[in-house]
Structure 1
Amino acid sequence: MERGDEAMSLLDFGLIHVYMGEGKGKTTSALGLVVRMTGCGGKTAFIQFMKGWLYSEVRGLSFLPGVKLIQTGRPDYIYPGQIDPVDFAEAEKGLQAARQVLLSGCYDLVILDEINVALSFGLVPLAEVLELLKRKPLHVEVVLTGRNPPTELIEIADLVTDMAEVKHPYRKGILARKGIDC
């Protein structure tokens, strides 16, 4: 059997996680799972929505065996009300990549980074994401990150973590720092 077959997978069953909230740490937590999966010899697909530039995590993931990174999005921030047609096209690329890697069954862990934001901005259809999650192979663990996930995602998830901001250095004027925030 090939590595992607369920009989050869690392996990007996995979759960659905949602990492949400206004606080820092959603992508960072997902990256921690990548490190754990890599340490067990597992394979991860990490798909970033709305992140079309070179974050430090992109460089870091390149050092980990068994990790496939796919980035989609423009190389700048997107704000509600300022969405460009290219943003829809990039989000569709991310959704197509998610379909391909998730349904292949070749990965133990699939992370859909910032998909919750893409959903809240209307860049990807909720019905398609829900259908994709319904069709995921039994053994694949899936993590959806980002602020403002729709209620329907929270309802189908097995694990939901809400990152609440209690205190943040940004409030003191300390901007994103290399190696910590970006």
Structure 2
Amino acid sequence: MSDRQQRHQQAMQKLKSHVDEKVATATEQRGLLLVFTGNGKGKTTAAWGTVTRALGYGYRVGVIQFIKGLWECGERERLIEDPQLEVHVMATGFTWDTQNRDSDTAACFEVWREAERLLADPEIYLVVLDEITYMLKFGYLDIDTVKRAIADRPPEQSVIVTGRNAHRELVEMADTVTEMQDTRHAFDAGIQARRGIDY
């Protein structure tokens, strides 16, 4: 065996030992709270990827879409016919387009009621609260209301929260937090969002 191969084998054995140890200590089984936040692209896409994964195993999934609900969404279009998927969309679109706090708040409450129902249903394996961070930032929803609904959910249910500037209290209670970092974005260079790539 060459020196290079021997060094590689030793390094991989050390890595395997470390991974095996971490796997052995992970014994708790329960639903998770995941937060996908940050200024980078891909938060909603990551959530839909997890939705696809859960549906692939036959689990029931609920998705609540705030903000971008009226936009085309390729993932939603592909998956909407799955009988295990339930999607509710806030009917106003971008709040900076509507510029009407009263109607936006009413639309938010309407879709939030569906979120509360899903968060209380033990048959729902995964709930996605897409772009809910904006609802908290603009004051359409109260952080304590959202935290309580998430905390009181069935123990096997997982929740994904997406959006920029996730509320610090949601970050604190989360099991997994992923922050998307914006290194470069084509839109900043005047390139239009591309169907099938960006939405």
2:127 is equivalent to residue 110 of structure 1: yes
Which 4+ stretches in 1 moved above 6 angstroms? none
How many aligned positions are there?
Answer: 170
Instruction: Name the structure 2 match of 1:66.
Output: 84
Identity of aligned residues (%): 36
2:170 is equivalent to residue 132 of structure 1: no
- By how many angstroms is 1:171 displaced? 1.9
Counterpart secondary structure, 1:105: coil
CA distance in 2, matches of 1:117, 1:54: 16
CA distance in 2, matches of 1:13, 1:136: 11
CA distance in 2, matches of 1:34, 1:52: 16
Counterpart secondary structure, 2:124: coil
Question: Does structure 1 conserve the Cα–Cα contact (< 8 Å) formed by 2:92 and 2:98?
Answer: no
1:18 is matched by which residue type in structure 2?
Answer: V
What pairs up with 1:168-179 in 2 under 5 angstroms? 168-179=185-196
- By how many angstroms is 1:51 displaced? 2.9
Counterpart secondary structure, 2:64: strand
CA distance in 2, matches of 1:81, 1:55: 17
Aligned CA RMSD, in angstroms, stands at 1.7
Among 35, 50, 56, the alignment partner of 1:39 is 56
* Alignment deviations for residues 5-47 of structure 1 (CA, whole Å, 9 cap, x no partner): xxxxxxx510000100101000000000011101111110011
Instruction: Name the structure 2 match of 1:8.
Output: none
Give unmatched runs, 5+ long, in structure 2. Answer: 1-28
Larger Cα-atom Rg: 2
TM-score (norm: length of structure 1): 0.88
Instruction: Name the structure 2 match of 1:53.
Output: 70
CA distance in 2, matches of 1:167, 1:36: 28
Counterpart secondary structure, 2:110: helix
- By how many angstroms is 1:133 displaced? 1.1
- By how many angstroms is 1:180 displaced? 1.1
TM-score (norm: length of structure 2): 0.80
Give unmatched runs, 5+ long, in structure 1. Answer: 1-11
